[in-house]
Amino acid sequence: MMWTWFELPDLTSAPAWQDEVKAVNRVDLLTRYLNDYRFFLQKIGTSHDMIDLEPDFWGFARGMGNLDTVPAQVTAAAPNDCANQENSVVGLAHCLIAMTRKYAPDAAVGLHLTCWDWPGNVARCGRDYVALGATGADFLVGEVEAADAGVNALPANGGHNSFWTDQKWAAQLAYWKQMADTVGKPIVAWQIPLGNMRQNNTTNHYQDDKVDWLFSHMDQVASAHVAGLLFGPGTPDSTTVESDGGNLFAKTNTYRNSGGTQLK
């Protein structure tokens, strides 16, 4: 099972991302959060699961300054598990990884890769994730778009073009490769839209090109140190594996029967 542990937004009812980061500096809220994470890990036990830690949050924290100066009350919130960690967002990331090793020793854990400034600042992104302890995790989680291109093209959603060119894919893969090289861990791509060009742009039948592009460029994907592709709708209206006309299953079966691509 692949779990996305996406719980920090629930610590505060405020809509501002700054409040989500500030919440980890409250002992009461962070204690509840880490208690929940411990319970979750205990339920996983010795299962060979994967855990994706906190989409968006690390990017929000990066927006507050150097990660080791963004406060988080780690030692008070989890004194039996993380008393030796620093009271910062860096300490929180290290704490979550350490708790995973303690309570779910056979699980693999990865930090969600949220570097919105990556087109011009991959080096800083890499340094930040090394500081967060990603070298002690098992993978990094990358992402592309939350919704199908046909959904993003709707006027209500901004009407923007999210079909990807070869050039955009090359830039994305180069970014992932640099991060994987810096941290020394592979990339798992998350929440890849399921649409395809045979859809008619109605609810759960929206067009996109990412499934077809990825399966036809697996050598490039593997060369970027991408070890796994996780497909799924990020919005309620997006195409699903049940509504894509069998495209993902067909592509997966053909790829498997071809022998696959060696990881790099």
pTM: 0.94
Per the CB < 8 A criterion, the answer to whether 48 and 109 are in contact is no
Query: How confident is the model over 20-34, as pLDDT tens digits?
Result: 999 999 999 999 999
Query: How confident is the model over 209-242, as pLDDT tens digits?
Result: 999 999 999 999 999 999 999 999 999 999 999 9
- The angle formed by the CA atoms of residues 253, 174 and 180, to the nearest 5 degrees, is 80
Distance CA 169, CA 16 (A): 31
164 Rama class: left (phi>0) / alpha (psi -120 to 50) / beta? beta
Distance CA 154, CA 152 (A): 6
Q: What is the dihedral of CA 114, 119, 124, 130, to 10 degrees?
A: 40
* Predicted local confidence at residue 17, as pLDDT: 81
Q: Which residue has the tokens 């070298």?
A: 135
Q: What is the DSSP letter of 191?
A: E
Under-70 pLDDT residues of the chain: 15
